[in-house]
Each structure stands twice: as structure tokens, then as C-alpha cells.
């Protein structure tokens, strides 16, 4: 890597594309070498963590099951071990998944409940399917729309969904900034964009 930096500095100082090309090639080779080393370390760590069936039975008396032999050799119970005693059952463990980090089931069997804050209420109308031209027309308008507290949509005054619900009037650009989305019943974005174009 230091060689690549040296070639880069020489190429820039002398304005020579040969040095710059050599710097790129050296950087690529260094990156490949780092990648190979990381893969080898990962494989070695995987092999060290996962005992094979053969090693699990080595030294076990005939007729003894694998469960019996593993019960006797619990990590932390070895003489001279710094930690001994049962593991902390209240500690939450985490496992990596392909999509994101998720809590694993703890020793006590407790799992956190799924959050339903992001879900729309059942009687909430769908979000208006808005064309990009309408979004761009509405984004700067300060025309008043109505929002209902703890509901995700904003509406026109004539919207049938409001039906006596307590609503608050705010400008459409503020409603969008606050995270509200347009109602599919009264179609506020399409209506306001059409009015703005006239």
C-alpha cells in the first residue's frame, strides 16, 4: 500500500500517467491481498468455532451420548477459569441476519413484541398515488390541508374520511415535512397541483 502511495505521489509530481497507472495497479493488488487474508481468517475462525462430530465424541466413554459429554464440559467451569457460574439469563443476545440485526431468543424465552407504530390504522385510506410532476407542484405550496392527530394522511376540507373527526389545518408543505402523506380518497396532491397550474 505504501508503494501505491509513493507511485501516486510520483505520478502527480511528474504528471506521468505511467506512475499513476502503476499506483492504481498496486492499489488493486493490495486490495485483493487484503480480501484474501480476510477470507482466510474468516474460514479459520469458523473452523475453530464449529467442532466436528468426530471431535465431539473423542474421549467420551462408550455408550455416553454427546449431550452427556457436553454437559460435563461447560465453558467457564474449567479449573482456573476467570468466569464461573450460570450465564446471565437477562442479557439480550444479538445475531446478524442478511437483512438487519435482530434480537435472538434469550435464555428466558422472552422476545420483544413487534412494533405496530408504523402500521396504518385499519380504517385509514390508502396513500394517494402521486405523479412526480404533482409532487413538485405541491412541495412549495402553503395551501391549507387538514390532518387528524395520530393519523398518517392529510386531506382536503371536502374529504369524506374526515367525517366529524377533529382535524387541524396546516400548510401542505408543512404536512409533507412532518411526514404526512396524501389521502387517496380526496386526492389532495392532484387537486392542488391542478389548481396551481391554472
Q: Which cell goes with 122?
A: 385499519
Query: In this structure, are residues 40 and 34 in contact, taking their beta carbons and an 8 Å threshold?
Result: no
| pLDDT score at 71 | 47
Domain boundaries, the chain: 2-49, 132-197
How far, CA to CA in Å, does 71 sit from each of 66, 74, 189?
9, 6, 65
How far apart CA 73 and CA 32 sit, in angstroms, is 41
pLDDT at 157: 93
3-state helix, strand, coil in the chain (%, to 5): 40, 10, 45
Q: How many CB atoms lie within 10 A of CB 24?
A: 14
Predicted confidence at residue 153, as pLDDT, reads 93
Distance, in Å, from the CA atom of 177 to the CA atom of 120, rounded to the nearest integer, reads 18
Determine the pLDDT at residue 187. Answer: 95
pTM of the shown model? 0.41
pLDDT (0 to 100) of residue 154: 93
- The CA-to-CA distance between both ends of the chain, in Å, stands at 62
Residue-level pLDDT at 28: 83
Instruction: Provide the residue-wise pLDDT of the chain in tens; the chain has 198 residues.
Output: 677 677 667 767 777 778 778 878 888 888 888 888 888 887 776 666 665 555 455 554 555 444 444 444 445 444 444 444 555 444 444 444 444 444 444 343 333 334 445 566 778 899 999 999 888 888 889 999 999 988 899 999 999 999 888 999 999 999 989 999 999 999 999 999 999 988
Amino acid at each position: 500500500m505504501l508503494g501505491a502511495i509513493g507511485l501516486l505521489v510520483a505520478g502527480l509530481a511528474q504528471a506521468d500517467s505511467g506512475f499513476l497507472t502503476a499506483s492504481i495497479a498496486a492499489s488493486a493488488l493490495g486490495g485483493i491481498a487484503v480480501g484474501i487474508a480476510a477470507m482466510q481468517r474468516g474460514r479459520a475462525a469458523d473452523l475453530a468455532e464449529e467442532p466436528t462430530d468426530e471431535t465431539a465424541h473423542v474421549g467420551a466413554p462408550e455408550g455416553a451420548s454427546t449431550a452427556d459429554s457436553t454437559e460435563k464440559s461447560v465453558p467457564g467451569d474449567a479449573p482456573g477459569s476467570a468466569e464461573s457460574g450460570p450465564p446471565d439469563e437477562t442479557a439480550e443476545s444479538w445475531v446478524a441476519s442478511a437483512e438487519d440485526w435482530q434480537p435472538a431468543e434469550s435464555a428466558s424465552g422472552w422476545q420483544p413484541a413487534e412494533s405496530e407504530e408504523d402500521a396504518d390504522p385499519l380504517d385509514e385510506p390508502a396513500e394517494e398515488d402521486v405523479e412526480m410532476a404533482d409532487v413538485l407542484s405541491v412541495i412549495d405550496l402553503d395551501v391549507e390541508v387538514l390532518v387528524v392527530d395520530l393519523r398518517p394522511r392529510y386531506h382536503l376540507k371536502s374529504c369524506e374520511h374526515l367525517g366529524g373527526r377533529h382535524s387541524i389545518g396546516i400548510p401542505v408543505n408543512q404536512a409533507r415535512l412532518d411526514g404526512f402523506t396524501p389521502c387517496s380518497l380526496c386526492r389532495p396532491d392532484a387537486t392542488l397541483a391542478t389548481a396551481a397550474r391554472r
